[in-house]
Structure 1
Amino acid sequence: MSFVPGVPTWVLLAVSVLNLGLATIAVRRREVRGAIPFAAILICVSLYALGNAVRAGSTTLATYRIGSLINYVGFLGLPPTQLWFVLGYSGRDSLLDRRFAALLLVEPLVVFAVVLTAPAHDLMWTLDGFTRAAPLAIADRTNGPVFWLNLAYTYGMILASYFLLALVGIRRHRRYRVQVGLMLIGGLVPLVSSLLLVFGFAPLDALDLWMLDVAPRGSADPTSFAFTISGIVFVIALFRFDLLDLMPVARHTLVDEITDPIFVVDLDGRLVDVNPAATDLLDAEEAAIGRPASEVVPSYGSVADDGSGSGSDVVVETDDGERYFDSSRTTLTDRAGSAVGSLLIYRDVTDRHIVEERFQRLIERSSDLVTVLDEDGTITYVSPSVEKVLGYEPEELIGVNLVEHVHPDDREDILAELSEHVDDYSYAGSHAARILDAAGDWRIMEARAANLLDDPYVEGIVLNSRDVTERRRRERRLEHQNERLDRFAGIVAHDLRNPLNVAIGRADLLEASIDDEHAESVENVSHQLERMEAIIEDALTLARSGETITETTEIRLETVARDAWESVDTGEATLVVEASLRVESDSDRLRNVFENLYRNSVEHNESTDLTVRVDALSDEYGFYVEDTGEGIPEDEREKVLEQGYTTNQEGTGFGLAIVEDIVRAHGWRLSVAESDEGGARFEVECYETPVEKQPGAV
């Protein structure tokens, strides 16, 4: 007969059945968080004890190996199931994803395969008969390397689980620490027992107990009885402290760790519990507990108690300033449905309040209008700035159709635009229309429209509008001035040039036929006539130089600079062009810039050794023209750009003014500085139209 049961076998079977019974209770309460992993632990303990029961009554090594196989199924399952349970109990079960669970099962499955094939190798152990016969059979066993590696892994996993469990007890408070303490005691008893055996200390040898798989050869092991003690302790924790109810997890996760203050008030209106966030708000938990909530809970009376948990605003003065909370109160009931108190939650919305207040003030103090229309064009919101811009109170326009305030000549376009894009939720466009203000005047408004009808926070067409009435008037005045200026330029070009040309021709005839006595006078007249011609040319150029540049092309700066040099009388001066840039510009106007800068350098300096250099600015967003002449004194650098200012009696004083007007017309900026050689330097910074460096340009 291969199996002879005795007292040890029946005791171990009783332990196995006891743990299965506890597992059954846990499974019946599987709807409770943590019940399933707890049941898995108890099943592993049951298998562990069952395997030892089979081994204790074995009379052959084959039966003994079957018991060892059953024993190791439970032994290998304990570390992952314990970690599974502790992660759930401590609120860290989110860590146990599929990948992590698979990693936990790798080591047990590999070791189980080694145990299953143990007769074919000595990696796990070798069995050389029995040192004691049934009913307390003990095999003569020598443990292999995989046994010790698995033992280290198992103890490490179990100790890690107990460490996490201990942290829960440290962080929890009051009666939950007792529950955690019982669980630690129940788990540590078999662990300590097995450690004593592994290191050669077997105090129960004299009792002739059964062998545990981890025990050295010849030692008796009380670990299975230790598991029985653990079962009893867990039963106490189960029924006395509601272990499977996992109340600590709920409180720890939903109350202790939540950042919003939570207050629990009983039916008499006394504060009975608070979380750490509420403690910080009250400054003293112990002094507050037991006192009327109306005395210690901020704005307690203003929090609605309608059972719906609806919120109300609460402002609390703290050392760091005002804090804003969205508060709610919920009635707490027992299992019978009777009210036992109230739960107050103060959700900190200080950051949101600051952002809302900031944007509210920006909207209120902005000179622009923000208007929201529904799909029919009815105004559902208008910013307070409407009073400043149009003279209406915001309430006067709510519910009014916008088209009613639009000029009759503009209504058709506005209606067509709204109807065309009312279903286009990505639509954005700009419009201009005349709007009737409160005084009965028409104001020209430019609006940027965005269709946000599908946005649940807006549900409308948003118009950002600006009053451009005065700007349009200025533009019209400027257009009239430009028209008059063009007419004046035409008069200068035609009516003044014709008599001037006649006078120059007559002077040339006089110069050829007059005697030496009057030659100097005639020469002076010719010179003044030529000067008048130069002034007329510069005046015409200046009149047109400030016009806005509307058409530009990509121009190679080096080419324009060299062409302009050829059209100016530069004497013996030298031009050095180092720039290799391309810029979007009006070619003729840019050439005029270089011509006037060249003339300025030549006319104000000796041209024998004069060098004029053109190159890009270091930031590659502009260029400069400089010379090696005498330069411009610092106190005169702003004056030289004024119309009519000149230090040369032969000059017109318009050249640099023309340069500045053309530069501004491009949207650029002109500044006067000093070159490295002490000469004049004119820098053109191209803000509106960046200049690109083209190293390979030809």
Structure 2
Amino acid sequence: MRIDPNVPIAAAKTRHLKQAHITQQVHKKAANLDALVESLDGYVWSVDLEMSYIILNNALLKLIKEVVGVEAKPGDKMLDILGLLDPSKTEEWKNIYQQAFEGSGQRFVSQFLIHGRPRYFEVSINPMYKEGAINGISCFASDITAEINNNRRLQESHTRFRSLIENGTDIIVVIDHTGNIIYGSPSIEKHFGRKLTDLTGENAFDFIYPDDIPELAEKFLDVLNSPGISIPVKSRAYAMGNRLIWVEGIVTNMLKTEGVNGIVCNFRDVTERVKTAALVQESEDLRHQLMDEKINRQKEIMQAAIEAQEKERAHIGQELHDNVKQILSTAKVCLEYGRGNAAEQQHMMQRAEDMINSAIKEIRELSKSLIQVYQREIGLQLSIENLVESIRIGNRFQISVDFFLPDENRLDDKLKMTLFRIMQEQLNNILTHAAARHISIAVQQAGSVLSLTVADDGKGFDIQQKRMGIGITNIINRAEIFNGQVAFHSSPGKGCRMVVSFRI
């Protein structure tokens, strides 16, 4: 049998072509595998039974280079590289890999300190099989640091929020579209004296003061028709012990907000603020009332002063007309008679001179009563004594003066003038109305209090019934200039006692 020499060559070519095709397919699969590995959003690696790297994707190579400065490559011991990252985790990861070699896949979160900051990785480790036996481990890790940090911040925010609600003084209530209570903050128990479990299901309007319900119902309709908009509310509510309190806050429709699904009411107890505002308003009203009274009193004083001036002018006119004019008229008659009668001329001239001197005296006395004041040069005590002496001469009653002022020079001259005028005014009141026989005057200083007391044994008056006249009004207003206090003590038939005190 003859063998064709070309047959072995053809067979060899066929085998070579098959091998080349297989190699091409292997390379293609490897390329596809590499592409798949690199396309994954994370870190991919695999190790053999000796825990040596088989493959590492570029993301992992870059991370190792960035953190420990090593160019990792297949064949490097995984635990050696891990020891450079964090030596404390070597034993832990060795145990995890051992469990994977035993056929138990592992999924866990591991933390590494990178550049001084913690980074978190979710790691998945699974055994690889060849012909039914484990020949290595495939690993995948994703960086979940941002997710962990976000969850932590969210948890912290949630914790702070709950702490604010549970420890705050604000009254927070969540109600449904009918007003029934779904949730309430712990502060409700403090204000309303009832446990949250007891309040759930009750209607919030049951706690509202009846007079405020109509207005609050209109607000509630506005809330229902305005999702997401905060609407201010102020109302009275029944608190613990049926005590009525004022609450103020905002109500927001969050019925369609996932996780809330209710109407959120955030209230604050403003009872004290409302009371304070009412007191301030009452004080303001009282201030306006007092101002009006003061203005009216000033008008009365002005009118009284004008009337007093007119009365004084009338008195002066009457004195000049009825007294001085008559005296001067008599003097004129004497002069005319003496001019025509030589025998009586000397006598008439003397009488005319006497009449003129009498008129001069009357005018002097009239002027003295108008201008008599406290004289700084002689001091308050002598000024008072001069005034008393001038009264004593023309009237039939006794006047006593008790004067004790340790250091008169230290007193304000305006205060001394005021003291003198008040005493003068009261003496004039006594002379005009009292019909007294005895008058006592006392000027005393005790510590920081200066007092003037003027008392008489006249007919007195009923303080409750008597309307304040011009004289008393003038006394009170003069005293008020120096923040003085005026007190009158009198009754019918018992005389009158006036005490004026100043703090100096």
Report the TM-score, using the length of structure 2 for normalisation. Answer: 0.41
Q: Which is higher, the Rg of structure 1 or of structure 2?
A: 2
Structure with a larger share of its residues in strand: 2
